[in-house]
Structure 1
């Protein structure tokens, strides 16, 4: 959909008068994450507003800055606050509504004519906080060492991972960055997708994408990953190599585990379909507007 066919208009880097004009026009204000620089006009217009929190309201190093405290105060005056996971809710605003992220269901799906092998894959950026070194070391302690571990993605740490793999005696299969159908086809060839993040992910869409392509998802239990996985996958203790090794073995050694996981995948993914998530957001916005409208109506005796 291009700019001409959209049923709405997008203002990119709008001038202040454009922002004020849109505030005057709007019935309700919605923000994806808190942006104080574009919310301040509501001091003048006092429109009901809804904010969705999609990441931690603190610095990348975990510290709360003055601006983060201001953002948290701003949340207190919102009609509703939406958090993408229970971890975000607990950390940022305990009275928020949890609505998990959607995934692209028209793209990520099982392709029947692709052979699925007993292999393990990782998908994401090649950076330290994603836990790839932990995965490589854990993989070297499994019965799979004669099968390459597949890393899908890229980054500056690629050479370091190749060196580590050589030291611990395993082979890596590097696909580089894959997108669209190529990524879907690659995911369809693997049994397990491991998400070994050391960083506490706010949610973890890659979990939904992996299970939609038929992978058994094994993710660290930090942040919002448990919400992204639900009963449709397994989690291991974040940063614990022993638990990761045990969970990989657990999946391969117990056939009932795979059956139990797969019976939950369809239901779990159904809660993250685009139209389902959109309707949940629309419901919150309609409630916010209705609440303010009712407040403004005069009392009748």
Structure 2
């Protein structure tokens, strides 16, 4: 099958959308399919498939003529025209609920949501499917060749790890405030913050003001096997998004490395952990502090929540997710 994947963002940009596109396309190639990826992100990189950066209209049209199926990552109104010119080839992948952080929608969001409901689409979570009207749900893939549980629970020397971009919607400030509450009660877990972003300075200042300097380590960016090694040092992974996160690949990566997840309850993170962890109300640092106190006071009981997680993770391996996508493509186009 000839697959043309379009994503506005891609490596060297870092994020869940970018990583999923890379993992999925590499798996399609490994399964014997031809793949070409187009993106508006400039840069370089070596991939097992051609990457066409910032294509013009002629290049885009040639890719459409070449492919059996055209997969677009999220609804971008500027690039929605192939939906009308090549409808039998066209499939959306929804990793976005098309709403503001507070759950409301602007004019562009309403247009994107309306287009989504009238198109063949694959949602990355049951939450996203409800918000977009997607026909199919295929949970996001993680890189199972990299993220593996390689350290016994009782040998893990660190407590908490946060992984993500340091932006306000990811809720790292909520986590720090929760740790400040715990400190007042004499509970002082350590925290590693992996990632970078515009809020780093503010978060470092907040950590200092809460007296957490000795507990919190800002580790900067880490990817691949380096990141997997860091995760394997920790017992719990925190994904405290303040907004309704559509999914959360970082939760999969953490669980695959043996970390018990603690995540926000509104949005798709509950689909990502599938009951194998703890949840708390988005943005509620007091509630998060209570959950952390429970988990930290009985770590072995918390670890038991990962029992059976292998079955869930097997559904999210690169090969399994690629097979689920190909099934949708065959249903849509009739291609082999």
Question: Is TM (by shorter chain) over 0.5?
Answer: yes
Q: Kindly indicate whether residue 75 of structure 2 is the aligned counterpart of residue 51 of structure 1.
A: no
5+ residue gaps, structure 1, are 293-301
- Which of 225, 234, 242 pairs up with 1:198? 242
Partners of 2:93 and 2:205 in 1: CA distance: 42
| Cα distance, 1:144 vs structure 2 | 6.8
5+ residue gaps, structure 2, are 1-25, 37-49
1:71 aligns with 112
Provide the alpha-carbon RMSD of the alignment: 2.9
User: In the TM superposition, what whole-angstrom CA distance separates every residue of 1:22-58 from its partner, at most 9, and x where no partner exists?
Assistant: 4445444332222344442454455342211111224
Partners of 1:126 and 1:76 in 2: CA distance: 32
Partners of 2:84 and 2:171 in 1: CA distance: 43
| Cα distance, 1:113 vs structure 2 | 7.8
Number of equivalences: 287
1:228 aligns with 272
Q: Residues 178 and 30 from structure 1, CA distance in 2 versus in 1: closer, same or farther, beyond 3 angstroms?
A: closer
Q: Kindly indicate whether residue 129 of structure 2 is the aligned counterpart of residue 85 of structure 1.
A: no
Partners of 1:272 and 1:127 in 2: CA distance: 26
Partners of 2:236 and 2:145 in 1: CA distance: 22
1:128 aligns with 168
Partners of 2:91 and 2:288 in 1: CA distance: 39
1:112 aligns with 151
1:167 aligns with 209
Is the 2:73–2:93 contact (alpha carbons within 8 Å) kept by the matching residues of 1? yes
Q: Residues 39 and 255 from structure 1, CA distance in 2 versus in 1: closer, same or farther, beyond 3 angstroms?
A: closer
Q: Residues 161 and 258 from structure 1, CA distance in 2 versus in 1: closer, same or farther, beyond 3 angstroms?
A: same
| Matches for 1:1-301 after TM superposition, within 5 Å | 7-9=34-36, 10=50, 11-41=52-82, 43-58=84-99, 64-78=105-119, 80-93=120-133, 95-112=134-151, 115-142=155-182, 145-170=187-212, 171=214, 172-254=216-298, 257-290=301-334
Is the 2:181–2:286 contact (alpha carbons within 8 Å) kept by the matching residues of 1? no
| Cα distance, 1:62 vs structure 2 | 5.2
| Cα distance, 1:265 vs structure 2 | 1.8
- Normalising by structure 1, we get a TM-score of 0.83
State which drifts further: 260-269 or 16-25.
16-25
Q: Which has the larger radius of gyration?
A: 1
Partners of 1:280 and 1:25 in 2: CA distance: 23
| Cα distance, 1:147 vs structure 2 | 4.4
Partners of 1:22 and 1:132 in 2: CA distance: 41
2:9 aligns with none
| Cα distance, 1:281 vs structure 2 | 0.5
Partners of 1:250 and 1:41 in 2: CA distance: 51
User: In the TM superposition, what whole-angstrom CA distance separates every residue of 1:39-83 from its partner, at most 9, and x where no partner exists?
Assistant: 4245445534221111122456755344444433433443x3211
SS state at 1:246 partner: helix
User: In the TM superposition, what whole-angstrom CA distance separates every residue of 1:142-166 from its partner, at most 9, and x where no partner exists?
Assistant: 3675443221122333333333223
